[in-house]
Structure 1
């Protein structure tokens, strides 16, 4: 768990407009940007963060401000269990009762970025990570 925490902290401190540094951290190559209305999106199929295999990596940034970005990726099984608070200011958001496919997630501010750790239906297993920098 400590290694995962450190990897997320390092990743959240990388400027998301520095695509080469971000690709290096994720052990992948983020493709050329495609325009999605007011956003640019770069993708990679696979990568690695610590001991975790990543899939469906997406970096979305504002077309007029690449530093205003969000990185999203799925964690391939086997994942890790998040059954305790990782950062002091972490909060758990329960699934929305009105949405049948809604899942719980942890969220925290890490190095000025908002980090969301999405959980599987068991409310413990990590399934995705979203990091937003503004």
Structure 2
């Protein structure tokens, strides 16, 4: 489960609201160059997500426990590693307009100066 938080850049002092973390049914990717974010729902990933679930020892998350178990037991797909899955998600997302690459582990960046030196402040609404 992700959340929004008031965030302050430690380099330029700019304050803004940022989203942190994906949800129960989607990934939040970030550009590795500019920090732009993009959400990708698991169902958009199709077989790629099923292959990842198939290779897990347990469920991906409690909210999708029954579905994850069903996929692990019955989906006619070959399992893949987390590394292969993350690479596949980045490929699916395509390049960012700035020329960077969307990644699952991309860091949030200040929209003003692009620094990754950020401090989370007041936490706002949670999201799925």
TM-score (ref. length: structure 1): 0.25
The structure that is strand-richer by fraction is 1
Structure scoring higher RCO (CA < 8 A, sep ≥ 6) equals 2
Q: Which has the higher helix share?
A: 2
